[in-house]
Every structure is written in structure tokens, then in C-alpha cells.
Amino acid sequence: MSECKVLLKHADVPGIETLSVYESCGGYAALKKALLEMTPEAVQKEVLDSGLRGRGGAGFPTGRKWSFLPNDGRPRILVCNADEGEPGTFKDHLLIHRLPHLLVEGMVISAYAIGAKRAYIYLRGEFLQGYELLEEAMREASEKGYLGHHILGTDYDLEIKLYRGAGAYICGEETALLDSLEGRRGIPRMKPPFPATAGLYGLPTVVNNVETLTAVVPILEKGAAWYRTMGTEKSPGTKIFSISGSVQRPGNYEFTLGTPLSEMIETAGGLPPGHTLKAVVPGGASCAYLTEEHLDVPMDYESLQAAGTMLGSGGMIVIDTTHCIVRLTKKAMSFFRHESCGKCTPCREGTLWMDQVLERLEAGRGSEADLDMLTDLSGNIAGRTFCAFGDAAVAMVASSVKYFKEDYLAHFELGGCPLEKEPVL
């Protein structure tokens, strides 16, 4: 099978970030079809029928998310979540910097489908060049009548605003993102009410990830039935996997969902010669580890859930035996400690404690009781926080104790790292 390029089909075409080249590759054909030949309801139905699931990490069916908007006459808002920051994930980075018009086209189609006349792109502050590229793409699209007033001569208007974040992982959580977009600290909101009923400025709002919105373009172009010929029953279509770590050709690769893990690693060049696989983080640092025994696992939402982990954002980190699992797990926990917004005590205090316990274990000053403490703390964070951050924070640690207990034992038997890795900074 190997790669199946749908979203990334034209990613390597020189100048694809410009409107003329994008159009010469068939760009904005889907927009014309949607706006000139279809009703918003028909577009919504196509996306619902395609079975497209949110590509940001949660995997919620996009068409269903759209269907939760109440029909109460209030103005609706579309927000694109471009706050990519899940460790291991760099797919939106590529989409924004190479294919800004694909995102603009996907947003106009999606906003038309849900009846939004205002849309926002919440872009992480570090994507400064991405901001400039999107700004230019939007300017070109407006000039050509693909965006703005009377799009393609219809009576549909859409304004898209770019909004730069300022550095906070939690703003990838959709309600924290909305708070940030309202000019406040990015702290998750109570759900319900969900953004569909009370989102930005209290208005009905849909928040979709960059990749999700770009996937709407080929779905409209070729139809839901075609989209469903790829992937599995519950995970239709293709997905971009960001593959990094111990592979010879790290990068973004697009596969049909359900492609086996081993095939993905091979496509990324496999491990460097003489290296042996230790672990794989399949979908960003919020996911539990997989090991060599999982190499045949089909990479789709349901199979990974069955394997005790998640497809997440598709940020795959391949780890070979020359890297210390305890060190990397500690690294991930330091990240979550740093990024906890501090709203919920189990997360705020728990990540701090777990980070300290892992620091001890990494330095070889821990004991077996510390492993029990990690398990205990994990259980007291997961499921006890406002948002999914708490569950995400403990997934790697809990699975490291499950699969790699020997590595922890070796650390305190030796009084340090058996691989002689320097402690994390």
C-alpha cells in the first residue's frame, strides 16, 4: 500500500503556495462545486457521509460536530485550530506553509456548509511565516472572488481573520482556544455548554483542526463514497502521519487509515542500520507507548484504542534502544508540568509530583515504591480534570511502567542511566 497522497498530492509542486499554481493543480474546483451546485445542507451531508473524523487528536466525526449547531438564527462562527504543538506532530506546519490555499478553500467550503459568515484561524504564535503565507493566500483568494463579499458571484459572504496565539500548548484544547481568542488566559471551559451552542462570544461555534478542514476539499471534489473507499469502516480516508525520531527519513507521510505501523516506519526509511526498535509513540506525547509486539497494528482510531493507546494527532515518534525510555518519559512529563494551565488541582499538582518522581528515577535515586507512586498518581489525575489534558499527561508514564519496568529497575540498581545518558536539562 505505502503512501496514498490526497491532501499532500501537490505539496511538492514548486510555487504551490501561490494562487496561480494552486489553481493549475485543480485548486478551488471543490469550492466552485460546493457553492455553485450544492446547498449548504448537501455539503454538510457529504462531509457527514464521508465519515471524516477530527484530525486534531480527538477523532470526533466532523459532520456530527457540525450538526450540533442549533437552528436558532444566531450568527455562527467557524474557528480553525492551527495551534499545533503536540510533541511529535508537524503536519499542520507543512499544510500551512506549503498549502495555505488548501486551508483557505477548505475553510470557505466548511463555513458555507455551516452557514458561518465569520471565521477565525487561531495560529500558534511561532508560525510567523505561516501567518504571512496565509495572509497572502487570503489576499489572493479575496481578489479572485473566492473569499469576502459575494463569493463566486453568489450571495454568500465570508470574512476570515487570522489570530496569532502567544505560546501555550493548552490553547489547542478547543475551549481554551476560544478563551484565548477572547483575549484571556487560555483556560478550558466547562462543557456543556459545548462550543456548538455557546462558543466564541457565546455564539454557536465550530472548532476544527487544520487537517480536518483541508480534508473537506477532496471530499467535496470526489464525493463521500470515494472517500470511504480508503481507510476502514470506522476510520475512513487518509491521514497525514508526522514521523520523527529514529527513522532514516523523518517527515510527513500520508497513508490510508488502517495501514500497519511497520509499513509506516518502513516508508520513513526504517530505523538507521544496526538499530533496534524500542518503542513507538503513535500519536503525539498524549498517547501511551507501543512496542515491537505492536508492529502489525493497523493505524486507525479503533485498532489503536484496542491496543491501549490513541491515533491522536498522528505524531509518531520512533524510539530505538540507544535512547533511554526513562529519560524520554521524564522529558514528556516535564512538558506537561510546564503546560498545565493550573485550573484543576489533580493536574497542576499531580504533574509536578510525577515530574519530581521521574527526576529521582532517572537519576537512579528512586525505588520500586516510586513506580507504585507513579501508577497511583496517574490514576488520580486521569479522568479527574476539566479537560483531556490530565489523561494526556499520564498516558506515556503509565504505559512506560507497564512495558518498560526493567528500564526503571536498571536505573535504581545502577544508581544512574544504564545508557549513560545525561540527565535531562
Partner 1 sequence: MTAELRARCEAIRAEYPDAQSALIPILHTLQDAYGHLTDEAVDEAGELMGMTRAAVEGVVSFYTLFKRHPKGKFHIQICDNLSCCMMGSGDIVKHLEERWGIREGEVTDDGLFSVERVECLAACGYAPAGQVNLRYYYRLTPEKIDELIAGLRQGEVASGERV
Q: Contact between 419 and partner 1 (CB under 8 A)?
A: no
Task: Please state the φ and ψ torsions of residue 278, each to the nearest 5 degrees.
Answer: -110, -50
Distance CA 202, CA 274 (A): 56
Segment 4-63, which members bind partner 1 (CB under 8 A)?
A: none
Among 5, 32, 45, 164, binds partner 1 (CB under 8 A): 164
Only one of the segments 29-37, 45-53, 288-296, 332-340 lies at the binding site for partner 1 (rule: CB under 8 A); that segment is 332-340
- Backbone angle region of 153, left / alpha / beta, with phi > 0 → left and psi within -120 to 50 → alpha: left
Q: What is the DSSP letter of 323?
A: S
Q: Which is nearer to partner 1, 141 or 171 (CB)?
A: 171
Among 61, 145, 250, 416, binds partner 1 (CB under 8 A): 250
Question: Residue 327 is which amino acid?
Answer: R
Q: Which is nearer to partner 1, 26 or 75 (CB)?
A: 75
The 254-293 contact track toward partner 1, x by CB under 8 A, reads ---------------------------x---x--------
Collapse the DSSP code of 302 into the 3-class scheme (helix H, G, I; strand E, B; otherwise coil) and give the result. Answer: helix
Q: What is the distance, to the nearest Å, from the Cα of residue 175 to the centroid of all Cα atoms in its chain?
A: 15
Nearest to 289 by CA among 314, 307, 271: 307
Task: Tally the residues of the chain.
Answer: 425
Among 254, 339, 391, 407, binds partner 1 (CB under 8 A): 339
Q: Which is nearer to partner 1, 220 or 358 (CB)?
A: 358
We find the least distance from the C-beta atom of residue 268 to partner 1, in angstroms, to be 9
How far, in Å, are 82, 141, 187, 217, 314 from residue 241 at the CA level?
16, 28, 28, 19, 5
Q: Contact between 317 and partner 1 (CB under 8 A)?
A: yes
Q: Which is nearer to partner 1, 181 or 417 (CB)?
A: 181
Query: Could you tell me the three cell numbers for 21?
Result: 499554481
Distance CA 144, CA 125 (A): 28
Question: Is residue 252 within a helix (H) or strand (E), and if so which, with residue range?
Answer: strand 251-256
We find the least distance from the C-beta atom of residue 251 to partner 1, in angstroms, to be 5
Among 111, 243, 257, 382, binds partner 1 (CB under 8 A): 243
Among 73, 153, 183, 415, binds partner 1 (CB under 8 A): 183
Count of residues engaged in binding partner 1, rule: CB under 8 A: 58
Q: What is the distance, to the nearest Å, from the Cα of residue 181 to the centroid of all Cα atoms in its chain?
A: 19
How far, in Å, are 57, 65, 287 from residue 109 at the CA level?
22, 16, 32
Among 1, 36, 166, 306, binds partner 1 (CB under 8 A): 166
> Is 257 within 8 Å of 231 (Cβ atoms)?
yes
Segment 55-94, which members bind partner 1 (CB under 8 A)?
A: 84-90, 92-94
We find the least distance from the C-beta atom of residue 181 to partner 1, in angstroms, to be 6
What is the torsional sign of CA 86, 420, 290, 378? negative
We find the least distance from the C-beta atom of residue 152 to partner 1, in angstroms, to be 25
State the residues that interact with partner 1 by CB under 8 A: 84-90, 92-94, 97-98, 124-129, 161, 163-169, 180-186, 201, 242-246, 250-252, 281, 285, 315, 317, 319, 323, 328, 331-332, 335, 338-339, 341, 422, 424-425
